[in-house]
Structures are given as C-alpha cells and as structure tokens.
Structure 1
Amino acid sequence: MESKEAVAVHHFDPATLVYAGSSTAYIGPAGDRQVPAFAMLDAAPDAPAGHVARATSIEGGSWEVVQDFRSTPIYRKADGSRYEIGSSSAWNGIGDMPAEFTALPKPDGCYVWDGSSWAFDIASARAAATVAVDQKRDDVLASPFVYLDSRFSADAGAIAQIASMAQLAAVAKLAEKPCTVIWTSVDGVDITLDADGMVGLAMAAAERQPAAYQVAAQLKTRIAEAQDEAALAAIVWPQ
C-alpha cells in the first residue's frame, strides 16, 4: 500500500473564526497539500487566560490573539441592562469590546455611566425620592384611621361616602331631625352613629391630611438639600 505524507492543519469555527482544534491532512500525488475549508497550515498561537486565537478572515489568512468575553457578564452603558451574547447578537463577545458595553455591573439605584465608571446621579435620585414621598403620603392617607376606638377605611371611595353622609347628617341636625347612621369598620363591626358622630367621623378622616402633607413637605425640603446617596438614604417617612 502506498503511504501518504501527512501534514497538520488547524481548524477554526466559521461562525466565530475561533481556533477549533487540529487534525491531519495529506499531501496529494502532485505535492499539493489538501487543506480543508476553514483550516490553515499555520499553527494557532497559544492564548492566555481570557483570550482565544482567531483567524483574521473566513478565508483563513493568519491567526490573531484576542480577548474572549463570552463567559463574562456584559452590560449596556446606556442603562446598565445585561447584554446577552448569542447567535443573534451584533457582537459575539470575541475581540475588542464595543464602546457601548462594559463588564462593570450597574449598582442598584440612580447611576449613570460617566465615561469610565458608574456614577451616582443625584438629580435623578432626588426626583425618584420625591416621587416616593408623594406615594408614601398617599398610602398613609389611604390607610385605615381610628375613630371611637374603631378602625375605618380611608380609600378614595370610602372618604367620598363619609363626606357625603356627614353633609346629610349636618343638614339633619340643623333641621332638628333625627339622624342615625350605621357605619361598618374595617374589622367588620357595625358602628351606630348619630349626626354628631357622623360629622366626627368625617373630621377624624380629614384631620390627618394636613399632618401628612406637612411631613411630605419637610421631607421634600431635605431631599432638595441632600448632596449624596447616603444623605438621601437617611430621609425616611417617620414611623
């Protein structure tokens, strides 16, 4: 049997151009080297950790050593969202990282990319803290309130009903007409109220509003004066 002279060839992935291993090819009868597609005769250089050897073109050309970010979490500088490397990605994680990406994760909270790292955005943080104060104020005003040792609902619908019934009770009292109202507490207990009691219920619901708005205004003043993340974090609604 006629022996054939063998030669080593070095393959690369046609999708990524990354070195994929070596095999043996043979020299033909005319002395031609039968190199398969997506392979080269030149050996791929050794790549240090975090790097790979890659062909410079789909035709082969030569090898280059480039960084490999495929196992590294990558984030968008625009908003800190995770960039998922995959077959449909514009960048496959191999080679120089595009300028719009970073390997630095965005911290929780109001941070923006300043050109080299994530920086705290005090303006956005103040705006978010102000919105949070308004929401807390509304939550406090919508929480049940206590009157005559019973708790009553204070959502928008309940407050409208209380105000309407209190007006009718006041009219009945002025007309010296009897007035009896049965109002159910949030605990499911029916409470019997006369005209004065119904008006008192409405006043108990209403008197919380000035205090809640005053607290919110004080907190907003402190938010506007805060100069860093720690100062903002210290601003909380009082218990």
Structure 2
Amino acid sequence: MKKDFFWVLLMLFCFTGAVTSCSEDSSDDDNEYENWQERNDAYFASIRANALDSIRQAKTLYGNSWTDHCNWRTYLSYSLDSTIANNSTDSIYVEILRKGTGSGCPLSTDSCRIYYRGRLIPSATYPEGNIFDHTGQFTTFDLIFNSKTAVPTLMRPTSAVKGFGTALQNMHIGDLWKVYIPYALGYSTSNTTTIPAYSTLIFEIELIAYYRSGSNVPSWN
C-alpha cells in the first residue's frame, strides 16, 4: 500500500513539473510578442523617419543627382493611386545594399527569379529578427546571396504580399535590397504559422532575372 502511495506521489510530481514547464514556455512565448502591434508601429516609424531624413538631406546637398549619394528609397504600393493622399504605411522603404546593372523592371505578370530572406523586427530572443522564410537551405546572409551556395525561387510580384510585390516591380537585375514592409502591406491583422499579426516584414531580396508572361523560363543550373 505504501509502495502504491509512493508511485501516486511520484506521478503527481512529474505531472506538476510538466504543467509548470509548459506554463513557463507559454509565458516566454507571450513575452516575445508582448505589445507586438505597438512595437511594430514604433519600429516602422523609426525606419520611415530615418529613410525620409536621409533622402531629404541628399536632395538638399545634391539636388537632382541625390540618388547617386543616398541608398534609401520609398515606393508607394503598386495597388494604390499616387494622385490621392496616402497614409505613411502605404509605402515600403528600401535600403539599397547593392545596385544592379540591368535595365528595366519586372511587370506584375512577370516571373522573377530571386534570392530572399524574410525576418521579423528585432526582439529579446532574436536580436536581428526571427527568420521566418528564405530561399535555399541556408539561413545566413553570405550563403543565401552567394551564387555558389544559393538556390533561387521563381515568383510573380502579384503572388506575394503587396509590399514584396511592390519591391520586385521597382528592382533591376542585380539589385540587392533590404526592404521594410509595414504590416498593412504584409499580412495585416492576420496570423500565419510563422508570422504574428501586425508584423513589420524585413526582406533582403536580390533580383537575378525576370521573364515576361508567356516567354520561355529557362531551368536553373
């Protein structure tokens, strides 16, 4: 009888420990995304302010040649009318990491061959932002965007979220951009399996090639 009582106590102890562990894990996850909308609003606002300030200074100093001296750009979502007033979250903000030499830009119906990596905003657990998607098998920047180790994907601009599609339609072959997308042009108020609602999306994207609708798309070697 005492032996049975001992085993009952042991099982209760293990069960309590398991529940406590799950509770702690849940708490950690909750803390990771605590005040998530407010944090994303503040983060995107800071990126926007920095980009606009850099552009403003470059225009003041260099006039019409400001683009030669500033790596920041802003693009209104392709789905919106530029002739009407727009909100601050109707545009993406781009930091040019490398300028390509290609001419022309993809159309919305084109197939784009790209490398990319997507992250959330920095957090306590992920100081550089949690990586939620990427091309190829590697997650590090140097390997994702290295032609010897990278594996591209094909994508139409309209098959991605509006912010991503907007970036693609303004890129030239060889461009490598860091793109900041407000959640209004991302997944908005919806959760995905890897992305919480109200998430600012940060993408590094390199445009390798693009193909007009109906044209032959060569296989990747």
User: TM-score normalized by structure 2?
Assistant: 0.22
Greater fraction strand: 1
Compare CA radii of gyration and give the structure with the larger one.
1
TM-score by length of 1: 0.21
Q: Larger relative CO (CA 8 A, sep 6+): 1 or 2?
A: 2
**More helix by proportion, 1 or 2?**
2
